[in-house]
Amino acid sequence: MTKKMMWIIGASVAMALVLIAGVTYYVTMQSDTGKARQVGQQYLQNLKKLDYKQMFQAVDKTSLKTTQRKHPDQRMKTVYQQLGVTKVDVIKSSLHKTGLNQYEMQYQVTLKTAIGKLTHQVYRMKIKMINGQAKIQYAPSLILPDLTATNTVHVAKNGGERGQILDRNGQVLAGSEETKVLQIVPKYFLTDDGQIDSDKVNEIAKKYNASADTINQGIQAYKAHSDWGYPVKTLTADDYQKDDDGDGASVVANYKRTYPLGAAAAQLIGYTGTVTKEDIDKNALLSSQDIIGRAGLELRLDQQLRGQESIQYQLLDSKGQVEKTLLSQKFKKGQDIKLTIDAEVQKNAYEGFNNVPGAAVIENPGTGELLALASSPSYDPNTLSENYASVANNADAPFIARYAKGYAPASTFKQVTAAIGLDQGTLDPNEVLTIEGKKWDAYSVTRVNSDTQVNLQTALSHSDNIYFAKQALKIGRDKFQKALQEKFTFGTKYQLPITMTPPSFSNDGQLKTDKQLADTAYGQGQMSVNPIQMVTMYNFIDNDGTIVMPKLLMSDKTKKIENVVQADHAKTILNDEIGVVANADGYAHQLYAENYKLAAKTGTAETGNGNQNALVSVHDAQNKKFSALFIVENSVLNGQEHNPTADKVAKQAISYLENH
């Protein structure tokens, strides 16, 4: 072999070795880059899903030691929950090699928080190759780009004033008065090892005349949010009220909720309570000094009433000073809400019960505006926190809003049966039926009177169950059921800010037997109708055959069901019921006033075991400015008279309405 040939072969081998080394290096680099990119992309996928635990599966544990974070997923979860982060959008990302075995992934993110979007958040995540594996180098800036190990994320709030609930005339039904509240920030009372510094706690307790136990309980409850303030007590005029710096306590203005009508409107208006840790976990916009609705309209209209606080998401330095404000929300006062309720009518309706269990609903029949929704017995929301146990343990259940509770409407429902019969042409108001005895054996229907010659007026005046059962059978199940559903709101969901179920005449929505039809005709059977629904479906009598749906908010529009029955049929029923009040032997004569014309229909609902509820439906036949429904529970108990009849309970409110 010549020297030239040997040189060529040697050169070729050398070139091959260089090529192999280069390819090996390239493949190795590509493999490392691929691994780094895969780890980075997997992190971003978990970030978008807010899967905190999976996010840090590839973290380098050595990097955790330098930041003193054993559980970075928990830290990130806490901060994001604090900010109310519900969605993460990754806009773009890119990977760059920054040195030997070193990579950096840059990505831009938008965080959707409780008060808006944190946009254009540019992150830089370092990734290091260790023993052939790509490992994320943890840093606090993975949570927020500007967050360092010495920073604290803080949510600063300037509490908003809750809106008022007003009656139709602007009288306050739920208002607020300013108070001074002592707040504690837990982190100032915790030692480096997380223990409570009892000396500091006792010092603050003594200064502000507060309970050390209450302070300790709050510190324990809010350890996870140790930089949040929580209320300890409402300060009195005799308490120290200065806000001293650096002691971990602050005195802030707050608003105590007041209820001028007290027990008279408690179930309707409801009450508020201080925010709990569970509330904050559900809604990051809340803080421990906030108050939120717990019952009644305070709960149902909470968002409108609460308004919008001034909120700032801040980064604090090690001294607690604001280093940067990340996002802000401007203050908006809570909305004042005007109801259709008349405070004086409400008060009189409630007082008439004198703590007897029952309910009253009074409305303007022409507009559907609810003037009173009273429930008895009740409680005073102004003192509920002190008396909660006794109220909760009261056998008569004061928390129940009885005006929204389903009852058998009893004989008050005969007004509807009469209307359907008149409109169907099966009931002639002048026709006299001959009825013998107090029981109709064929359908087990009984009555209290012994009239043998009965027409519509007599049947309404003396509340004859047998007469109305016979009239319903003439109409027939299908037509009667259709009228109830299409005209008298059965099965209809009422559009009110009150929890209630639609009225029903049957457990399964069908009148399956003639016996059930007969019982339904006089308001028994399987019927369940609440007092609001009763007064609504009966107001066709006041409105010439049109039903006006109820409304509670003055801002709501009036809605009507036109032509439920013919106008002359509605007038027939109204005129026939005037004698129920005017006649000395009328069942509602208790409501009679010499110079005022009322119409009424009473009812007695059998509830089992010899017990009865008493009802009265009242119509202003003179001016048509009000209609009402009153119900008294257990007017008869175990076969014996127990509570007063509904007309007696209604007297105070009806007299007020007649004179105002």
What is the model's pLDDT at position 1? Answer: 56
Give the number of other CB atoms < 10 A from CB of residue 660: 10
Residue 633 counted as domain residue: yes
Residues 355, 481 within the same domain: yes
For residue 463, give both structure tokens: 């509340």
Picking from 145, 134, 172, the residue whose alpha carbon sits closest to that of residue 39 is 134
Residue 377 counted as domain residue: yes
d(CA 343, CA 473): 44
Note if the bond before 145 is cis, omega within 30 degrees. Answer: no
Q: Residue 148: what residue type?
A: T
Residue 23 counted as domain residue: no
Residues 474, 492 within the same domain: yes
3-class state of residue 284 by DSSP: coil
For residue 260, give both structure tokens: 């001028």
Residue 207 counted as domain residue: yes
3-class state of residue 575 by DSSP: helix
d(CA 599, CA 622): 9
Q: Decide: 280 and 286 in contact? Cβ < 8 Å.
A: yes
d(CA 597, CA 626): 12
Domain boundary among 119, 147, 175: 147
Picking from 534, 503, 546, the residue whose alpha carbon sits closest to that of residue 411 is 534
d(CA 250, CA 230): 10
Which residues are within 8 A (CB) of 476 and not within 5 positions of it... i.e. 6 or more apart? 517
d(CA 652, CA 348): 6
Half-sphere exposure of 187 (CA within 13 A, CB side): 13
Residue 281 counted as domain residue: yes
Residues 95, 129 within the same domain: yes
Half-sphere exposure of 507 (CA within 13 A, CB side): 3
d(CA 347, CA 580): 26
Give the number of other CB atoms < 10 A from CB of residue 299: 17
Residues 539, 606 within the same domain: yes
Strand pairing partners for 181?
A: 234, 252
pLDDT means per 10 residues, the chain with 660 residues, are 55 48 44 95 96 94 77 91 93 95 97 94 96 95 94 80 95 91 86 88 92 89 75 87 80 85 98 86 73 95 88 88 92 93 98 98 98 98 94 97 98 98 98 97 95 96 97 98 98 97 96 97 98 98 98 98 97 97 93 96 96 98 98 96 96 97
Which residues are within 8 A (CB) of 169 and not within 5 positions of it... i.e. 6 or more apart? 342, 343
Phi and psi at residue 369, in whole multiples of 5°?
Answer: -70, 125
Q: Residue 544: what residue type?
A: D
Residue 1 counted as domain residue: no
Residue 213 DSSP symbol: H
Give the number of other CB atoms < 10 A from CB of residue 211: 12
Residue 6 counted as domain residue: no
Domain boundary among 303, 320, 337: 337
Please state whether beta strands 291-295 and 271-274 pair in parallel, antiparallel, or not at all (unpaired).
antiparallel
What is the model's pLDDT at position 12? Answer: 54
Which CATH number is 48's domain given? 3.10.450.100
Crossing angle of helices 198-207 and 212-221, in 10° steps, is 130
Q: Count the domains in the chain.
A: 3
Give the number of other CB atoms < 10 A from CB of residue 92: 9
Residues 521, 377 within the same domain: yes
For residue 622, give both structure tokens: 């003179």
Which residues are within 8 A (CB) of 116 and not within 5 positions of it... i.e. 6 or more apart? 327, 329
* Residue appearing with tokens 């508020």: 272
Residues 209, 64 within the same domain: no
Residue 36 DSSP symbol: H
* Residue appearing with tokens 């389903």: 406
Q: Where are the alpha helices (DSSP H) in 161-237?
A: 198-207, 212-221
Picking from 658, 409, 614, the residue whose alpha carbon sits closest to that of residue 527 is 409
Which CATH number is 175's domain given? 3.90.1310.10
Residues 314, 404 within the same domain: no
Residues 51, 180 within the same domain: no
Give the number of other CB atoms < 10 A from CB of residue 435: 20
Picking from 471, 453, 359, the residue whose alpha carbon sits closest to that of residue 416 is 471
Strand pairing partners for 366?
A: none
Residues 195, 314 within the same domain: yes
d(CA 82, CA 412): 55
Which CATH number is 364's domain given? 3.40.710.10
d(CA 121, CA 112): 11
Q: Which domain holds residue 465?
A: 343-383+393-659
* CA 270 centroid distance within chain: 11
Residue 295 counted as domain residue: yes
Q: Decide: 630 and 358 in contact? Cβ < 8 Å.
A: yes
Domain boundary among 302, 337, 372: 337
E strands, 572-625, are 598-608, 611-620
Residues 204, 332 within the same domain: yes
Question: Cα dihedral sign for 522, 524, 526, 528?
Answer: positive
Residues 332, 377 within the same domain: no
d(CA 609, CA 18): 104
Which run of H or E residues covers position 170? none
- Give the CA diameter of the chain: 145
Residues 354, 433 within the same domain: yes
What is the model's pLDDT at position 179? Answer: 82
